[in-house]
Structure 1
Amino acid sequence: MEKVINEQCDEVCNGTVNISELKGNLIEEGIAANLADVFKALGDPTRVKIIHALLQNELCVHDITMVLDMGQSAVSHQLRYLRNMRIVKRRKVGKTVFYSLDDGHIEQIFVQMLQHIKHQ
């Protein structure tokens, strides 16, 4: 069966795809794993809500707990995960810790995916 499929592909593609070149340009394994980890981080609704809130404003942990109606421990756990993934960063003022998105790339990815989801 595989040979039949390959022959059909050969007939349609006419050798226009250079497999060796594509393999040579393929994303490195470590980078692919890191990218997959970022998308895993975005795969949790609570983390998505935190990111969306931080997209609008820098917030302290207390403010995030109020916005999401969640306990401080649960929010802190998610923020630690997002910080370890370099999705959010923190800024300390006295005893208060403020969180914001790590950089513009995170904002761009999030906004583009949100627009994709809302697109009909």
Structure 2
Amino acid sequence: MKREDSKIPICEVSVIHEDIINKVKEAMPEETKLYDLAELFKVLGDTTRIKILYALFESEMCVCDIAALLGMSQSAVSHQLRILRQNKLVKFRKEGKVVYYSLADDHVKKIFEQGFDHINE
């Protein structure tokens, strides 16, 4: 039924398919898990971080090399790497004074592959 004053459809029934609601409610992850997932997508919502992750698909790299590749300052790259590290998307190792970054695990690459599959449909 439509509201006369605004022509916006409204639902006058509070529950139509209670069995579906209960099934979905049971399957719904905890609120904290949904929050963490939303935060992950926020981190992935930055083009610079996407470029850094994509570079790390190809090879482990140091900050200097990533900065040169992307035409950015080392400070800007370090800032983005810190965010990626805090969100468990990259890991690092030290060799002398040089710090090398790589993907944290294969999940990161799978997320990208799924994303590319989706946008290429």
- What TM-score bracket applies, with the shorter chain setting the length? 0.7 to 0.9
TM-score normalised over the length of structure 2: 0.85
Unaligned runs of 5+ in 2: 1-9
Task: Give the structure 2 partner of residue 68 of structure 1.
Answer: 70
Q: Deviations over 1:32-74 (max 9, x none)?
A: 1111111111000000000110011110001100110000000
Give aligned-pair identity as a percent. 46
**How big is the alpha-carbon RMSD for the aligned residues of Structure 1 and Structure 2?**
1.8
SS in 1 for 2:93: strand
CA distance change for structure 1 residues 89 and 45 in 2, over 3 Å: closer, same or farther?
same
Of 35, 38, 41, the match for 1:39: 41
Q: Paired residues, what number?
A: 112
Of 11, 18, 42, the match for 1:2: 11
**Structure 1 residue 18 displacement after superposition:** 2.1
Residue 54 of structure 1 pairs with residue 56 of structure 2: yes
Of 97, 100, 109, the match for 1:98: 100
> Aligned runs of 1:20-39 on 2, under 5 Å?
20-39=22-41
Residue 86 of structure 1 pairs with residue 95 of structure 2: no
**Structure 1 residue 96 displacement after superposition:** 0.4
Aligned counterparts of 2:98 and 2:86: Cα–Cα separation in 1 = 19
Aligned counterparts of 2:102 and 2:117: Cα–Cα separation in 1 = 21
Whichever residue aligns with residue 2 of structure 1, its letter is: C
Aligned counterparts of 1:45 and 1:107: Cα–Cα separation in 2 = 16
Aligned counterparts of 1:57 and 1:115: Cα–Cα separation in 2 = 22
